[in-house]
Structure 1
Amino acid sequence: MSDDRVTETPHTTIIERRGGGGGVLIGLAVLIAVVVAAYFLLVRNDSEVAKNNAITSAAKSVESTADKAGSAIDGATDAK
């Protein structure tokens, strides 16, 4: 009879880390782009609000002046 020979060799597992952090850099770049875009949208929105407030103020001034002119005209026609 022949004896079976069993040889066990040690197994070495090699784990390679790939990628030099390119994904992290791309994610950081996208995050910065989103923050910058949000900032400019907010600044633009504030600018629109300021413009709208200025137009409203000017319209109220014109309304007040028109009311005064109308009163003066009414007073002039009543005096005759």
Structure 2
Amino acid sequence: MVDERITEVRTPAGDTHTTHTVVTDGERRGGGSGWVIALVLIVALIAAIWFFSGMSNSESAKDNAIADAASDVGNAAEQVGNAAQDAADNVTNNN
């Protein structure tokens, strides 16, 4: 319901001042801005989850590559040790 009030006040000098007031008691109708903000927040949340999960996968891949490289270095060191042992055995057996 809309109630419109117009008030006129006259001063002793004869001047007239008018005040116009509108009062509404109806339900508030919102635009679509609330839905737009909610949609933007959902998209931002999905993007953040995708970004952070991608970072987690790259960290895991980096850790796996380092572990594989360390394993390869360990295998190479073992082969060098075996070769040195074989050389020492050949020197001992030939004397």
The TM-score range, normalised by the shorter chain, is 0.7 to 0.9
Q: Which amino acid aligns with 2:77?
A: A
Name the structure with the higher helix share: 1
CA distance in 2, matches of 1:64, 1:16: 77
State the secondary structure of the residue aligned to 1:20: coil
Percent sequence identity over matched residues? 39
State the secondary structure of the residue aligned to 2:37: helix
Once superposed, which parts of structure 1, at least 4 consecutive aligned residues long, lie more than 6 Å away?
none
Determine if the alignment matches structure 1 residue 75 to structure 2 residue 86: yes
- 1:50 alignment partner, one of 52, 61, 66: 61
Name the structure with the higher strand share: 2
Query: Which residue does 1:39 correspond to in 2?
Result: 50
Higher mean displacement: 50-59 or 30-39? 50-59
Calculate the TM-score normalised by the size of structure 1. Answer: 0.73
Supply the RMSD in Å over aligned alpha carbons.
1.8
Structure index of larger Rg: 2
Higher RCO (CA < 8 A, seq sep 6+) = 2
Unaligned runs of 5+ residues in structure 1 are 1-11
CA distance in 1, matches of 2:87, 2:26: 98
Higher mean displacement: 50-59 or 31-40? 50-59
